[in-house]
Structure 1
Amino acid sequence: MPTMALRLLTTVLYLSLISSATAEFQRILHLPKPNASLTLLAIGDWGRNGTFNQSQVAHQMGKIGEELNIDFVVSVGDNFYESGLTDVEDKSFEDSFTKIYTARSLQTQWYSVLGNHDYRGNAMAQLDPILRSIDSRWFCKRSFMVDAEIAHFFFLDTTPFVKKYWKNPKTNHYDWREVAPRKKYISNLLKDMESSLAESTATWKIVIGHHTIRSVSEHGETPELVELLLPMLINYGVDLYINGHDHCLQHISSTDSPLHFLTSGGGSKAWRGIFMPTTENLQFYYDGQGFVSLELTLAEANIKFYDVYGSVLHKWRITKEFYHYNMRR
């Protein structure tokens, strides 16, 4: 059996081993490579039937994915524009996903969260296992954890946090089925998030959500996440928070912790022309299309940002000093 097909089959088998130690965070096992390394791509704000350079970005993702031998792809939300899917038979699923990300390297598992545009349609459709029968790569839940041994990825449903989405429901439609009432849902979600983070012993802790925590672009900071989520990320030593929502690429480092904020919202429509500098440590900003790669080992993480031509715009490395210290002993 071809290597890619075998890896995808292995992942599908492990998806059947989902556990649910907490109410909201189901745990999914995804084994790293035999050498204990892990490589992935992160992309967001993409689903436009190939337009606004979505197809070009997908092409470059395929090339970089082949070079890096990626293990999976992370989608940070706003998977289908303008208003998610209408139902599980919506052709946008195939036209914006299956028929666009056709490269061999991208025929691996995709782990996805919902964005605010996804909630404007039938949010339940994207969560329906029927979509996996149409394209087995697709895995989308509101919140869950991918256990890749050396790294734990915590996928968080951030849209319900944002208060303005709950106002004027007659004119501002969002699919809040299985979410309302808001306060109870968020309270339970944060409890489960904290429990999962506290139990994690992985070398790398990476949290993924659609909305920004730190940003110098159009949407800026999300106050609800700054208040309710950010202290938890700092307290439990999270290394990376990866989001979309702003249609650009960003790297911001925290002023009071080792936490880094990555925006990978350049999957299709971009070039908003908005830059709002803050007091945060802005390492990189690009107001255009592209995506991010992560290469992880027990010793280090290498992160790169690519544009629509596949050129590396920004890269840096994080090392785990305690690992090097223990290896020298």
Structure 2
Amino acid sequence: MALTLVSILIAAVPVAYCYPTAFQDLGESSTNRTSIRFLAVGDWGGIPYPPYITAVQKATAHEMSLVAEQMGADFVLALGDNFYYKGVNSVDSPRFKDTFESVYTAKSLQIPWYVLAGNHDHAGNVQAQIDYSHKSDRWNFPSYYYELDFHIPNTGKTLTIIMLDTVMLCGNSDDFVDDKPRGPLNAMDANRQLVWLQERLARSRADFLLVAGHYPVWSVSEHGPTECLLRRLRPLLIKYNATAFLCGHDHNLQYIEESGVGYIVSGAGNFLDPDVRHWKHVPKGSVKFFTGKASTLGGFVHAEVTKNQMIVTFFQARGTSLYRTVLSQRHFA
């Protein structure tokens, strides 16, 4: 009887973390086109004292609004560290207004923001960020990890984005003491997320399959590759033919390509870091693009997913694109 009860409880717990699959509505704007477009920005979370915003965040927000207006954007992927330095403490925190609502004010950015948590968010109350989804028309953070599914308009093709909590998976990291995650706080939660992820990847028939988290799998910068993700996530990305992995954590822009998977680091939303101390810790020849120069004023990624390819463009906040790459749709044996 006790064993049965435990089994029931364990089976019930994932409901709190994962989110049921449903295709997202792109609205009327999708009627006459054949692509999905989105922005990806990480580490954008301002500062916890007046004016609650950095020059990089302000410049990046402005350029995001222009690119969204000119190139189109259906949604934004917010890749964690949404509120520096210790997240928020409640759903009523003024930081939601000071660092989010009052910064990304352009009409072109009044679109869904799909949010995941970073290590600084986990220093506060992540549940409060999840709960804010009920108070904001554009903030979408349904659970710690979840899946997004889209029909690419008028093509018969699909896009899936799996949003992960890499802090729950690998452990938190204190950037001021020790920058490496040392293992999950709760091994059961970590394993449950990993099982959920593997099931989603295994059954996905999406033409484009993206996975997003805060920590990088590969990075040449300060934090470098995340050992836990190299061990637990990278083999799954390769096995299930993922199109790309998107992340932040290192405060710059990077594109690394390895074993058929594109690794997109977009962590330049609030600070910039030119550090390349881990350049030799990624596979030789895999780095296709890197910048963390202060002169860029910040940066982000614009992606367009069409019938048969995904076009990824890295933008600097100064107003020009820096690098562009094209990823192919998945092929099944």
SS of the equivalent of 1:27 reads coil
1:87/1:243 CA distance change after superposition, 3 Å:
same
Equivalent residue, structure 1, for 2:23: 29
Partner of 2:105: 102
SS at match of 1:148: strand
Q: Is the 8 A contact 1:22 1:192 kept in 2?
A: no
- Distance, in Å, in 2 between the alignment partners of 1:163 and 1:59 is 33
- Cα contact 1:208–1:242 (8 A) shared by 2: yes
Task: Please identify, of 294-303 and 266-275, the stretch whose mean Cα deviation from structure 2 is larger.
Answer: 266-275
Shift of 1:165: 4.6
SS in 2 for 1:145: strand
Aligned residue number for residue 152 of structure 1: 160
- The correspondence for 1:307, drawn from 302, 312, 316, is 316
Distance 2:245 2:83 in 1: 22
Scaled by the length of structure 1, what TM-score is found?
Answer: 0.82
- Which of 38, 41, 46 is the aligned partner of 2:39? 41
For the residues of structure 1 that align with 2:171 and 2:111, how far apart are their CA atoms?
A: 35
Aligned to 1:4: none
1:244 to 1:321, Cα distance in 2 relative to 1, 3 A: closer
Amino acid at match of 1:308: A
Instruction: Give TM-score, length-normalised by structure 2.
Output: 0.81
- The 3 A distance-change label for structure 1 pair 308 and 181 is closer
CA distance, structure 2, for counterparts of residue 319 and residue 229 of structure 1: 21
- Which residue number corresponds to residue 91 of structure 1? 94
Name the CA distance, whole Å, in 1 between partners of 2:229 and 2:20.
Answer: 21
Query: Superposition RMSD on alpha carbons, in Å?
Result: 2.3
Shift of the alpha carbon at 1:219?
Answer: 0.3
Separation in structure 2 between the aligned mates of residue 219 and residue 239 of structure 1, nearest angstrom = 23
Q: Percent identity among equivalent residues?
A: 31
Q: Counterpart in 1 of 2:145?
A: 143
One-letter amino acid of the structure 1 residue matched with residue 166 of structure 2: T
Between the aligned partners of 2:330 and 2:202, the Cα distance in structure 1 is 21
Aligned partner of 1:72 in structure 2 is: 75
- What secondary structure sits across from 2:193 in the alignment? helix
Task: Give yes or no for contact 1:155–1:208 (8 Å, CA) kept in 2.
Answer: yes
> What is the aligned partner in structure 1 of residue 266 from structure 2?
264
Q: Please give the per-residue CA displacement for 1:126-160, whole angstroms capped at 9, x wherever unaligned.
A: 011xx235421001131001001321000001002
CA deviation digits over 1:183-239, x for unaligned, max 9? 111111111111111121111000000001000000001111110111111100101
* 8 Å contact from structure 2 (residues 45, 83) kept in 1: yes
Query: CA shift at 1:309, angstroms?
Result: 1.1
Q: Within 2, Cα distance between the matches of 1:164 and 1:83?
A: 12
Q: Give the drift of 1:102.
A: 0.7
What's the counterpart of residue 246 of structure 2? 242
